[in-house]
Structure 1
Amino acid sequence: MTLGRYDYERRYRRRVLSGVGKFGLMAAVVLGVGLFAYQMGIEQLKGRDITLREEIAALSRQKAEFELLATQMQHAARTAESRSAELEVRLQREVPTGELARLSQLLAERLKGGLDANRLAFIISQAQAQRNCQPADSKRFTLTTPLLKGGARGTTFSNGAITVTGEGQSAHNAQGNPESWFDPGQPVTIKITGIGGKSTVATGVLPLHQSLVIDNNEYRFTFAPGQRSFVDVTADRCAYP
């Protein structure tokens, strides 16, 4: 009886100890897995933190580069605006406008046509505001039109030394039919011819102005619409230059 009871108690203790050992082993395994997972999480967090820090540093460098580029572009824009303003002022100061532009164009055309620059400079230097001119001479003449081509047309000045002729477009009546006289609202062509064949042409809607130099005289003509079919012309003759 004593021996059987002893064996039972010993087996009971063995089972208890075995259960405790298994529990401890399982707890150790679970704890080990937990510690491993925790350590892995810590390492991942550290890696992510390093990556984020690197990305933040890269973004900071890009931001600084963009800010520097923006500053350089703003400086370049201000420089370009200042340069543009300087060029505009220089353009307004150096490029002729108005009457000066017209005179510059005439000078360029004369030089291109072969006229000597010294001759042009002499003529300009001799020009004076107070001119030596003869009394103006006024006349009138008719223009040829598509329906009025026969007969003598035009007029003369300076004892026949200069001939003035012209042509225009036919006027129309209320029914829209063309008339023999010219229409003063349409462009006309007027030709001024001097002895020797020297001539010039004025084209456009009246009034028109044109000049012609013959020998030592400059003839300045003003053409204006007169009575029906007529053009009034006034000629000034002045010493040239």
Structure 2
Amino acid sequence: MTLGRYDYERRYRRRVWAGFGKFGILAALLLGVGLFAYQMGIEQLKGRDVTLREEIATLSRQKAEFELLASQMQTAARTAEARSAELEARLQREVPTGDLARLSQLVAERIKGGLDANRLAFVISQAQTPRNCQPADSKRFTLTTPLLKGGTRGATFGNGAVTVAGEGQPSHNAQGNQESWFDPSQPVTIKITGIGGKTATATGVLPLHQSLVVDNNEYRFTFAAGQRSFVDVTADRCAYP
């Protein structure tokens, strides 16, 4: 009886310890699986974190590129607007409208019809608003040179209201010697003097043009080379203004 009870208790303890062992093994197995799953989760989170960081960096880079592109497009748009405004202003300045357009068309038709452009330009330049003018007065006078200084050298207009006189460079003969008369191919200086001390000067190679206002009259002079030593001058006198 004693032996039988002892065997029973020993087998019971053995089963109990075996149960504890199995429980321990199961717990250890579950713990290992849990730790492995946890570690895998950590690694996956790390991988996702790296991936997200790379995506964020890529998106930031793309955002910066898009902002730069947008800025460039805005600059290009402003430049295009400024260029468009400039071209529109230039178009308004250079393309004739109204009376100017009609005159431009007439000029183009005349030139196309064979009229010389220089002749047409001359005609246009001579066109003026009608003014209260006296008949033109033409005279001639001699220009002084280093070899021709004596005597009266000049002409008067408007009953002495205006005097014109001038000087030039001496001519040369075939031997290269200086002559007393002026050389019309060289620049001359003509001085116009009015009552009250008003003056005007025309300088250059003949023909020359100059005007002077004296006593509510405007004198317009045209100087051209005449016969040897002489200058032909034509004066128009008109009311001013």
TM-score by length of 2: 0.57
Aligned to 1:164: 164
Letter in structure 2 aligned against 1:152: T
Displacement after TM superposition at 1:62 (Å): 1.9
Identity of aligned residues (%): 62
Which secondary structure state, in structure 1, belongs to the residue aligned with residue 144 of structure 2? coil
The aligned residue for residue 229 of structure 2 is 229
* Cα drift, residue 175 of structure 1: 5.3
Task: Note the 1:1-241 alignment, pairs <5 A.
Answer: 49-50=51-52, 52-88=54-90, 129-174=129-174, 176-241=176-241
Q: Which is worse superposed, 220-229 or 182-191?
A: 182-191
Distance 1:72 1:143, change over 3 A: same
Residue 232 of structure 1 aligns with an amino acid whose one-letter code is D
Distance of 2:215 and 2:83 partners within structure 1: 54
CA distance in 2, matches of 1:81, 1:193: 52
Give the 3 Å change call, closer, same or farther, for CA 44–219 of structure 1 in structure 2.
same
Structure 1 SS opposite 2:186: coil
For the Cα contact (< 8 Å) 2:161–2:214, is it kept in 1?
A: no
* CA positional deviation for 1:173: 4.2
Q: Is there any run of 5+ residues in structure 1 with no aligned partner, and where?
A: 1-40, 94-127
Q: What SS does the aligned partner of 1:129 have? A: coil
CA 1:165–1:85: 2 relative to 1, 3 Å: same
Q: Match of 1:196, SS?
A: coil
The Cα RMSD (Å) is: 3.4
* Residues 54/173 of structure 1: CA separation in 2 closer, same or farther (3 Å cut): farther
What stretches of structure 2 of length at least 5 have no aligned partner?
Answer: 1-42, 96-127
Letter in 2 for 1:79: E
In the superposition, relative to structure 1, how do residues 137 and 56 fare at CA in structure 2: closer, same or farther (>3 Å)? Answer: same
Q: 1:50 to 1:239 in 2, by over 3 A?
A: closer
Task: Give the aligned residue type for 1:227.
Answer: Q
1:137-192, Cα deviation, whole Å (9 max, x unpaired): 21111111233223321122234332210112233445555433223233222112
SS at match of 2:192: strand
User: Secondary structure of 1:139's partner?
Assistant: strand
- Contact kept, 8 Å, 2:217 with 2:238, in 1: the verdict is yes
For 1:179 and 1:43, locate their aligned partners in 2 and report how far apart those are by CA, in whole Å.
113
SS for the counterpart of 2:202 is strand
Q: 1:45 to 1:175 in 2, by over 3 A?
A: farther
Count residues in correspondence: 170
Helix, strand or coil at the partner of 1:238: strand
Q: Given the superposition, is the C-alpha separation of residues 186 and 67 from structure 1 closer, same or farther in structure 2, using an over 3 Å criterion?
A: same
Q: Secondary structure at the match of 2:148?
A: coil
Match in the other structure for 2:14 = none
Mapped to 2, the partners of 1:141 and 1:239 lie a distance apart of 25
Structure 1 distance, partners of 2:177, 2:132, is 49
Q: Distance in 1 between matches of 2:196 and 2:58?
A: 92
